[in-house]
Structure 1
């Protein structure tokens, strides 16, 4: 019987691989609990370490710095807005009586999946973020039992089971590894990194989490900082002028992450896990930037140095320094909507809007495992050797 069911799954996957099907993403949950790094940090690092995220960050949407490494909104902000939910408040931010009723953000810039060490930008690694969630949940349930008035600012008890658990981590692990390791050594470190990730999501499952939303890592080799550091030799660049080694490593990491997600879904069939191919979305944007209204696919909007990358690691976005006897500033561009990259490391609000739009359209995402009862299919699917990529 199992063999017959497996054969049906394979046949259906083959059939649907040739059909252009459009099914908008169903994206509605009572609460969201997010774990990640600066790609989804809404103020955690600023609150936790008083990390200086000053002007011109936030200028496009918030008109002031708002804890985000961006000129405006992040992907997670657009996704929360699509659900009709307020932006997620950071777990570490206690100023202004934050509202956690619709969820909580444990992400912090610079965070890694592997445990932090003395050289880490952020001490809030994935294991720490998961531990923070466990404490948060325990504290919330005690407060709700003690005082029903707490309901107006805290998630209800069943929200922890019905809510969405989002993950966007791994980029900093890969990035940091390249500082001291060869490409082969970096790739060899992935099983240990993903074992840590697996332990974290399993712990969340034991805490009642059932809806998981996993973003893979983006094209690291296309960040201006990476190109400026590792791409000085043209032979190290691909046809898009991105660093080939970093993008190859990201692809291997994503393949292994996809395998882990498939394994997890098989072990816990009552869970619902969706895997989102952020790498392909961002690479498509960079490859076809003019088609989507952008003029600069790789150069940083806010930086110093001018074309082609407008990035100098000595001068951060918004920073003023004396360099070679002259006072210089990492200034923002005139129109952030023309740029994919914001500061050499992060994307602009305009790029984040594009990425979130692709996600919400149901493109580049799939629910695991493929079953004959439930499909979350993108516009056009084709089956690859190990991974199914969505375009």
Structure 2
């Protein structure tokens, strides 16, 4: 999927049913879940994009949708805990205001004041993602209090990613941080009718100098930097090192507990 409508007919509920089916076929699935890190997300971008592409694109519209999405994420976490998951990473939303597809979508309707002067990203859209992340962290804390035996980790994808836009040279990125590597031209190399993979699209010479691959997804280089930030503990709450220490010093969890 490149620049264009970002939607899917595979809902979170459908994916959870697939997960249940997988566990049903797995011998000793509970022991398997006790050893696994389950990553749920990041979630919400496709939902917000659907609103944006369908015309409900104001900050007020998106913020009205946020509590609904957060409740759905929370209920899914509860279901995973009931299945036996004991360590789960829940990423927050990324700075979609820096995504080439969103910059193209709002290019004609935006004014100079809509952009962050330091990064060139859409400031109001990133504010919305920060609001989403604030609500998500409150929901995670609520679930932690209900299930203190479960390790629930918040992944701060937003600040992990935004540092690349603030200091691209520090991370070996080029000067095209708001452009897609693969696309069909325009200010952000992300024309909606010339998606990556079509004959009209071209690919940059070195994807490692770009943050965005196709206007929607990150390059391998950008994903590597985000993964490093998470694994080092700088952008997770609590840090992975804390979770590992707790797990290594606690007694093995008996299957009967669940």
- For normalisation by structure 2, the TM-score amounts to 0.84
Partner secondary structure for residue 262 of structure 1: helix
Is 1:209 the equivalent of 2:85? Answer: yes
Match of 2:137 among 249, 254, 258: 258
Partner secondary structure for residue 212 of structure 1: strand
- Give the equivalent residue in structure 2 for 1:300: 180
- Give the equivalent residue in structure 2 for 1:281: 160
Match of 2:14 among 121, 128, 141: 128
Distance 2:169 2:143 in 1: 39
Please state which structure has a larger fraction of its residues in strand. Answer: 1
CA contact (8 A) 1:299 1:341 kept: yes
Is 1:178 the equivalent of 2:49? Answer: no
Evaluate the alpha carbon distance shift between residue 124 and residue 198 of structure 1 in structure 2; reply closer, same or farther with a 3 A threshold.
Answer: same
Please state which structure has a larger fraction of its residues in helix. Answer: 2
Match of 1:351 among 210, 222, 227: 222
Evaluate the alpha carbon distance shift between residue 120 and residue 316 of structure 1 in structure 2; reply closer, same or farther with a 3 A threshold.
Answer: closer
Distance 2:231 2:34 in 1: 23
Partner secondary structure for residue 183 of structure 2: coil
Distance 2:208 2:242 in 1: 35
Q: Give the root-mean-square deviation of aligned CA atoms.
A: 2.2
Is 1:198 the equivalent of 2:74? Answer: yes
How far apart are residue 120 of structure 1 and its match?
7.8
Bigger Rg over Cα: 1
**Number of equivalences:** 234
Q: Deviations over 1:32-90 (max 9, x none)?
A: xxxxxxxxxxxxxxxxxxxxx7xxxxxxxxxxxxxxx8xxxxxxxxxxxxxxxxxxxxx
Match of 2:125 among 246, 264, 275: 246
How far apart are residue 364 of structure 1 and its match?
1.0
How far apart are residue 338 of structure 1 and its match?
1.0
How far apart are residue 318 of structure 1 and its match?
2.0
Contiguous gaps of at least 5 residues in structure 2? 244-258
- Give the equivalent residue in structure 2 for 1:342: 213
- Give the equivalent residue in structure 2 for 1:313: 192
CA contact (8 A) 1:231 1:242 kept: no
How far apart are residue 257 of structure 1 and its match?
0.4
